[in-house]
Amino acid sequence: MPILTIEALRENPWCVIAYELPPDPTRLLLRAASLAAIYCRDSEYLFVLAAREGDFTPTWWNGTDVTPDAHEESENLCHLAWEKLYDICDLLGETVDEPTGSMIKDLWNEMSWMAKYVKCKWLRWR
Protein backbone atom coordinates (compact mmCIF):
# COMPACT_ATOMS: atom_id res chain seq x y z
CA MET A 1 0.00 0.00 0.00
CA PRO A 2 1.39 3.47 -0.84
CA ILE A 3 2.49 5.81 1.94
CA LEU A 4 0.53 9.04 2.40
CA THR A 5 2.36 12.27 1.62
CA ILE A 6 1.35 15.91 1.51
CA GLU A 7 1.90 15.87 -2.25
CA ALA A 8 -0.47 12.92 -2.64
CA LEU A 9 -3.13 14.67 -0.55
CA ARG A 10 -2.80 17.84 -2.59
CA GLU A 11 -3.38 15.85 -5.77
CA ASN A 12 -6.24 13.79 -4.40
CA PRO A 13 -7.75 14.03 -0.90
CA TRP A 14 -9.11 10.48 -1.25
CA CYS A 15 -5.55 9.23 -0.77
CA VAL A 16 -6.20 9.65 2.94
CA ILE A 17 -8.32 6.49 2.78
CA ALA A 18 -6.32 4.52 0.23
CA TYR A 19 -2.81 5.18 1.55
CA GLU A 20 -1.12 4.26 4.80
CA LEU A 21 0.19 6.89 7.16
CA PRO A 22 3.99 6.95 7.37
CA PRO A 23 5.59 5.55 10.54
CA ASP A 24 6.47 9.05 11.83
CA PRO A 25 4.03 11.49 10.22
CA THR A 26 4.60 15.21 10.70
CA ARG A 27 1.94 17.28 12.40
CA LEU A 28 1.42 19.13 9.12
CA LEU A 29 0.69 15.88 7.31
CA LEU A 30 -1.67 14.79 10.07
CA ARG A 31 -3.51 18.13 9.99
CA ALA A 32 -3.88 17.97 6.20
CA ALA A 33 -4.95 14.32 6.40
CA SER A 34 -7.60 15.15 9.02
CA LEU A 35 -9.08 17.82 6.74
CA ALA A 36 -9.10 15.36 3.84
CA ALA A 37 -10.78 12.70 5.99
CA ILE A 38 -13.46 15.17 7.09
CA TYR A 39 -14.10 16.11 3.45
CA CYS A 40 -14.36 12.45 2.42
CA ARG A 41 -16.63 11.57 5.35
CA ASP A 42 -18.99 14.48 4.86
CA SER A 43 -19.20 14.31 1.07
CA GLU A 44 -19.93 10.57 1.10
CA TYR A 45 -22.61 11.08 3.70
CA LEU A 46 -24.21 13.56 1.32
CA PHE A 47 -24.29 10.78 -1.29
CA VAL A 48 -25.79 8.33 1.23
CA LEU A 49 -28.68 10.71 1.79
CA ALA A 50 -29.04 11.43 -1.93
CA ALA A 51 -29.12 7.71 -2.79
CA ARG A 52 -31.75 7.06 -0.14
CA GLU A 53 -33.88 9.88 -1.54
CA GLY A 54 -33.43 8.61 -5.12
CA ASP A 55 -31.41 11.65 -6.21
CA PHE A 56 -28.17 9.71 -6.76
CA THR A 57 -27.54 6.35 -8.38
CA PRO A 58 -23.99 4.96 -8.49
CA THR A 59 -22.85 3.86 -11.95
CA TRP A 60 -22.27 0.28 -10.75
CA TRP A 61 -25.75 -0.18 -9.26
CA ASN A 62 -28.21 -2.19 -11.33
CA GLY A 63 -31.00 -2.77 -8.81
CA THR A 64 -30.80 -6.56 -8.69
CA ASP A 65 -30.84 -8.75 -5.62
CA VAL A 66 -27.14 -9.48 -6.21
CA THR A 67 -25.98 -5.89 -5.75
CA PRO A 68 -26.13 -4.04 -2.43
CA ASP A 69 -28.40 -1.06 -1.87
CA ALA A 70 -27.43 2.04 -3.84
CA HIS A 71 -26.19 3.85 -0.73
CA GLU A 72 -23.87 1.04 0.45
CA GLU A 73 -20.74 2.23 -1.37
CA SER A 74 -21.02 5.74 0.04
CA GLU A 75 -21.85 4.39 3.47
CA ASN A 76 -18.68 2.28 3.47
CA LEU A 77 -16.50 5.13 2.19
CA CYS A 78 -17.97 7.40 4.86
CA HIS A 79 -17.13 4.80 7.49
CA LEU A 80 -13.55 4.40 6.20
CA ALA A 81 -13.02 8.15 6.28
CA TRP A 82 -14.46 8.38 9.78
CA GLU A 83 -12.23 5.52 10.95
CA LYS A 84 -9.14 7.17 9.44
CA LEU A 85 -10.07 10.47 11.06
CA TYR A 86 -10.16 8.79 14.47
CA ASP A 87 -6.73 7.23 13.80
CA ILE A 88 -5.29 10.61 12.79
CA CYS A 89 -6.77 12.39 15.80
CA ASP A 90 -5.31 9.71 18.08
CA LEU A 91 -1.87 10.44 16.62
CA LEU A 92 -2.43 14.17 17.11
CA GLY A 93 -3.60 13.59 20.67
CA GLU A 94 -6.90 15.24 19.90
CA THR A 95 -10.53 14.24 19.88
CA VAL A 96 -12.65 14.22 16.77
CA ASP A 97 -14.79 17.34 16.55
CA GLU A 98 -18.16 16.04 15.54
CA PRO A 99 -20.43 18.75 14.17
CA THR A 100 -23.42 19.33 16.38
CA GLY A 101 -26.69 18.53 14.72
CA SER A 102 -24.91 16.36 12.16
CA MET A 103 -26.82 13.39 10.89
CA ILE A 104 -23.54 11.53 10.36
CA LYS A 105 -23.88 10.15 13.89
CA ASP A 106 -27.18 8.59 12.82
CA LEU A 107 -25.44 6.85 9.94
CA TRP A 108 -22.79 5.47 12.26
CA ASN A 109 -25.40 4.21 14.71
CA GLU A 110 -27.51 2.53 12.06
CA MET A 111 -24.67 0.80 10.27
CA SER A 112 -24.76 -2.91 10.86
CA TRP A 113 -22.15 -4.68 12.96
CA MET A 114 -20.77 -6.19 9.78
CA ALA A 115 -20.38 -2.82 8.07
CA LYS A 116 -18.51 -1.46 11.07
CA TYR A 117 -16.00 -4.30 11.19
CA VAL A 118 -15.71 -5.53 7.61
CA LYS A 119 -14.29 -2.79 5.41
CA CYS A 120 -15.64 -2.23 1.92
CA LYS A 121 -18.09 -5.13 1.84
CA TRP A 122 -19.52 -3.64 -1.35
CA LEU A 123 -16.34 -4.58 -3.23
CA ARG A 124 -17.54 -8.18 -3.34
CA TRP A 125 -20.34 -7.16 -5.68
CA ARG A 126 -18.30 -4.94 -7.98
Q: Are 52 and 72 in contact (CB under 8 A)?
A: no
Burial 72-93 (b: 16+ CB within 10 A, else e): bbbbbbbbbbbebbeebbebee
| Per-residue confidence (pLDDT) for residue 16, from 0 to 100 | 96
* 43 burial level (CB within 10 Å; 0-12, 13-18, 19+): middle
Q: How many CA atoms lie within 13 A of 61 on its CB side?
A: 14
The per-residue pLDDT for range 14-69, each reduced to its tens digit, is 999 999 999 999 999 999 999 999 899 888 888 888 887 878 777 766 666 655 56
Model pLDDT for residues 53-68, shown as the tens digit of each residue: 878 777 766 666 655 5
* The pLDDT value given to residue 37: 92
Higher pLDDT, 50 or 124: 50
- Give the residue extent of every domain in the chain: 6-125
Specify the 3-state DSSP secondary structure of 118. coil
Cβ neighbourhood burial of 70 (10 Å; 0-12, 13-18, 19+): buried
| 68, 57 Cβ separation under 8 angstroms | no
- pLDDT, residue 11, reads 96
pLDDT for res 68: 59
The predicted pLDDT at position 123 comes to 37
With beta carbons less than 8 A apart as the criterion, state whether 74 and 47 touch: yes
Please check the confidence at residue 73 and state whether its pLDDT lies above 50: yes
